[in-house]
Chains A and B, each alone.
Chain A
Amino acid sequence: MADQALSSLKLLECGGGVSAPCCAKLFADLGAEVIKIEEPGTGDFTRTEGPFPGDVPDPEKSGLFLYLNGNKLGITLNLRSARGRSILQALAQKADILVENLAPREAEELGLTYAALEPINPALIVASITPYGFTGPYRDYKGYPLNAFHASGTGFRVGQPEREPLTMPCAQSSYAGGISAAAAIMTAVFARGVNGGLGQQVDVSEMEAEVCFFGSTITGFLAASDEMAVRPRMGHRLSALNASMRCKDGYVHLIATSADWWQRLGQVMGGPDWSQDPFFQDPANREKLADELEALLEPWLMERTREELFQLGVANRIPITPYYTTEEVARLPHLKEREFFVDIEHPAAGMLRYPGAPYKLSETPWAMVRPAPLLGQHNEEIYCGRLGYTREQLASLRTLGII
């Protein structure tokens, strides 16, 4: 394997679900060695959650697990046993980074903090990704991605007025936390250069990541009471139009918030009277009458297909895009030409097509080198090859339920 951007880094991953695995995967995909530590017997809980081929549950065939854990080495280790913890310390001694997403109290109990691991490896960077963070009154509160997303104030803005607020699908706040942690960890890697080689604790909260992602949209409110910023859900549009709209064969998203887009949209539609109405030239008025405006647009949209509207949008530089399903995304010629999707053969799940790289690096390409590990697949390689255990010792660790 050619030298990749992060080939020099070694990372340990503890926990499960989406946040820590997605964070560690970003490192693995750029060449870092990632050892994923799973609980003996059960493993990462996403193994039980699917989706599964043919909807038949099988811990080696969970789609979410396979997607989030490619390029990693997988070992099992019982961190609740004293022996397990001492093995973890031996692994941490040789690592640059440990990323975990256990509840803060549990991470502290298991010694998965910088404070606990500093005596063993002062250069180690320990990153925790939790729903609410390692400090503050909610620190020990329970949270799933749904809760973190809504605790951030972001969820309140999604959905229709009068109805319940909505959530972004697929555990988005965990991705927000995971990707934020990856960037934070890389900064901590640079920081070792100014800290005389020392690592540190990095604390990332999913709630706070979402707050900061959207914090700039409420700054007007922070400056003083601003009606626009506090209006809930679909009413929060910065200015109309910015909405999902029905057309002949489905839905498109149309944005005509700027003066340019508004004018071009009017031109493309053949300049109906209302598009020339001085009243509607003011974005604030467009926002006030967003529903009426959408009704005026509807007949024109209903005569056109999503693709026709998409092409009109591209040709006239107006953001109009179809709402594509995952199937349509999977078949998009643009993504084929860019070789976005990657085909990976997995020993249990077989050949499947996975989403690929979020970015293309010219010198050190993102690469899918190995499929997600089977549970404990690399126990021998790591325990015998790296830590010097004999096969007999490995067998007895297994019998004791430590690996």
Chain B
Amino acid sequence: MRLDQQQYPLAGIRVVDFGWVWAVPFMTQLLGDMGAEIIKVESHARLDSTRTQKPAPGRPAHPDWSTRFHAYHRNKKSITLNMATPRAIELVKRLIRVSDVVTDNFTPHVLENWGIDYAAISKIKPDIIMASLSSAGQWGPLRNLTTFAPALGAISGLETMVGYYGERPLGSTLAYMDPVAGTYGAFAVLAALSYRERTGRGQFIDMSQMEACITLIGEAMMDYAMNGRVWGAQGNRQRGMAPHNLYRCKGDDQWISIAVKSEEEWRSLCSAMGNPQWTQDPTFADQLSRWEHQDALDQHINRWTQGYGSYELMDMLQRAGVAAMPSLTTAQEVQDPHLLARGTWVQVDHPTLAGEIVYGNHWKFSRNPGGIYRHAPLLGEHNQYVLGDLLGISTDEIKALEEERVLY
């Protein structure tokens, strides 16, 4: 199928994708949503763990039934190559010769062992762009670190600041760095492609997810550099802003975020609350004083918010010019009128699950919208296309490769 370049501006760029779990799969999802052809190299011998996670309710774990996998592998193709066989490595090299980008998020030794690290593949395809998104980078004492995002965020300092103010570090336990590193990676790959377009030269992108994570806490790192100050758990605090927290609303586990910066916003909040007596208290008279007494301030506001639903408060406060949004539950998130209006959720028919809902492309382009044009691939669904159509291997030979478990 030939993609319409008007809709999919990256059509024609081919990516050989060794990514697994999340970071690189998210990166290639972004490129695939805009038309790049993503060929995921995987194998029954070394299954991407997310292929069996979160099958649709009532279904057992199965490589083709993971709703999570379906979400960020939409638009991609799948080839099963058992990289433990020399023949598979030869085939990958042939595929790389007709491709533009190679991506992976293994620990550094994996591609070296297969003989397809950048030094090796740049000999067979000099203008190839390769992006490796390992935990701690391709070199340095921690190069062989195997970790996953919630733990990675801890050694990078970010997760250490997640927790109730003044208490122990809790960490978000979200795999925050996976999608962030994936997005950074997509930008770096596109920058490298643009350089290649201009100069004909490829290159290697060594991305340490740990370093990428530290770039997200520049503010705290600068305070350390300037003042030797170390930030503990931050709660919901933000320097100079109060109120700035989550407040309990009517209903079970319902919350609203309220953030106030200017004097005008404070006055708007007071008037939305009906200017209760406590707002006249001199301890809340100015921004600095409100910041210093924010715990007392929060108690007052919490008493008020509990009388209203979170969406009701959002309407009331936004009308008054106060930044306030519900902390959406999953159930609310999928029905939120704003997200529905922006087409955030998209229906995709997957062969194993009709009408599956996944999140769409979060970049809105006025000319070239991109989007989802194909469901996530079944395991090995594109073996024939990749080997036959792209590499010109005969049907008989493909059959033999299956029997020898090279294609596996």
Contact = CB atoms under 8 A, between A and B. Distances in A.
A144 B241 contact: yes
Interface residues of A, number: 154
22 contacts: A4-B195, A51-B223, A51-B227, A143-B325, A150-B326, A151-B338, A155-B246, A156-B329, A184-B363, A190-B10, A190-B190, A195-B367, A208-B342, A216-B71, A224-B57, A229-B54, A242-B173, A323-B171, A326-B157, A333-B141, A355-B217, A360-B137
A154 B174 contact: yes
Contacts of B141: 333-334, 337
A275 interface: no
Contacts of A171: 219, 238
B331 interface: yes
Given A147-B257, A150-B327, 8 more contacts: A153-B332, A168-B172, A170-B216, A186-B190, A255-B151, A326-B217, A329-B214, A359-B188
B88 interface: no
Interface in B13-61: 22, 26, 30, 34, 49, 53-58
A251 B168 contact: yes
A368 to B, nearest CB: 12
B187 A203 contact: no
Nearest to A156: B327
Interface string A100-117: 000000000000001000
Contacts of A150: 246, 255, 257, 325-328
Interface stretch (B89-97, B316-324, B386-394, B397-405): B316-324
Contact of A338 (B140, B162, B227): B140
Contacts of B155: 310, 321-324, 329
B179 A214 contact: yes
B362 A180 contact: yes
B174 A135 contact: no
Given A144-B241, A151-B326, A216 B68 contact: yes
A254 B173 CA distance: 10
Nearest to A133: B342
Nearest to B253: A232
A116 B338 CA distance: 25
B104 interface: no
Contacts of B5: 194
Nearest to A219: B67
Kindly list the 6 A-B residue pairs having the minimum CB-CB distance in the complex, ordered from nearest.
A63-B222, A215-B359, A153-B333, A191-B9, A186-B190, A213-B179
Contacts of B331: 221, 230
Interface in A291-335: 310, 313-314, 317, 319-330, 333-335
B236 A164 contact: yes
Interface string A49-73: 1111111000000011011100000
A236 interface: yes
Contacts, number: 512
Contacts of B356: 219, 222-223
B170 A147 contact: no
A222 B353 CA distance: 12
> What bracket does the count of chain B residues touching chain A fall in?
35 or more
B145 to A, nearest CB: 6
A40 interface: no
A147 B324 contact: yes
Contacts of B68: 216-217, 219-220
A168 B233 CA distance: 10
Interface string A198-215: 101111110111011111
Interface in B153-172: 153-164, 168-172
A281 interface: no
Report which residue of A145, A183, A326 has the largest number of chain B beta carbons within 10 angstroms of its beta carbon.
A326
A133 B364 contact: yes
B199 interface: yes
B172 A158 contact: yes
B113 interface: no
Contacts of B163: 166, 244
A221 B330 contact: yes
B143 to A, nearest CB: 8
A293 B27 CA distance: 35
A208 B72 CA distance: 15
A165 B190 contact: no
Contacts of B329: 153, 156, 230, 232
Given A144-B259, A179-B183, A319-B148, A361 B226 contact: no
Nearest to B178: A213
B358 interface: yes
B206 A362 contact: yes
B187 A221 contact: no
Contacts of A141: 314, 318, 323, 325
Given A5-B194, A132-B338, A147-B324, A187 B218 contact: no
Contacts of B353: 223
Contact of A153 (B22, B186, B330): B330
Given A50-B239, A156-B255, A329 B157 contact: yes
Contacts of A220: 54-57, 67-68
Contact of A319 (B10, B147, B226): B147
B377 interface: no
A220 B69 CA distance: 10
Nearest to A27: B191
A166 B172 contact: yes
A242 B150 contact: yes
Interface in A220-252: 220-226, 228-230, 232, 234, 236-238, 242-244, 246, 251-252
B359 to A, nearest CB: 3
